[in-house]
Amino acid sequence: MSHRDDLLTGARRCLVEKGYRRTTARDIAAASGAHLASIGYHFGSKDALMATAVVEATDEWGTRLEQAVRAAAVGRDDPGERLVALLDELLAALPGARDLSVAGVQALGEAPFDAVLREALAAGMREGRVSLAHLLLGERAADVPPDTVAALGAMVHALVTGFVVQALVEPEAMPDPAALAAAVRLLVPAA
């Protein structure tokens, strides 16, 4: 592993152990085994390193969720059915992703005050919205107007983010997957 990779690994460890806001450059250096000055050399600043670590960790979690949803959506061509599969997989994954969820929500709170972090998160969100829309629409995405695809992605991203926040604040109040599926069917009868 390179020093750059060591720093990213250390920053991700700090995200889980200390959270976004409480992590210092010295914490990252200690967790990575790298010299403090190497943060500036490889990333320019501690904030740029932390932004990279948050986006990398979020992308990894999103990829795992996407793979689980794709597997659950096999044989389901209806976007409503795929939404139910996505939410079912999300609810199953959230308890095991608590540390990452905490770090991600902290990063969202810091984004208005940190241009580097804000742009990194915005880029990840843009990609996430597109991926979510295409995941639900499948091959139909090519037949749907781009503004509708964008709106679908934004709506589903809001659902995912909302459930992440709810799971952190009141995990015992998360809906049962069957009840959530019934709620979706109220809105989308074909689901």
Beta strand spans in the chain (E): none
Tokens of 150: 């964008």
Tokens of 121: 């998160």
Q: What angle do CA 35, 13, 9 make, to 5 degrees?
A: 55
pLDDT in tens, the chain (191 residues): 788 999 999 999 998 888 888 899 999 999 999 999 999 999 999 988 998 898 888 778 778 778 877 787 788 888 888 888 888 888 888 898 888 788 888 888 888 998 888 998 899 899 889 989 988 898 888 899 999 999 999 999 999 999 999 999 999 999 988 888 888 888 876 65
Is position 28 within any domain? no
State how far the Cα of 31 lies from the Cα of 42, in Å rounded to an integer: 16
Is position 18 within any domain? no
Total domains present in the chain: 1
Total-model pTM: 0.81
Is position 88 within any domain? yes
Residue 126, domain extent: 53-187
State how far the Cα of 180 lies from the Cα of 84, in Å rounded to an integer: 8
Is position 15 within any domain? no
CATH of the domain at 62: 1.10.357.10
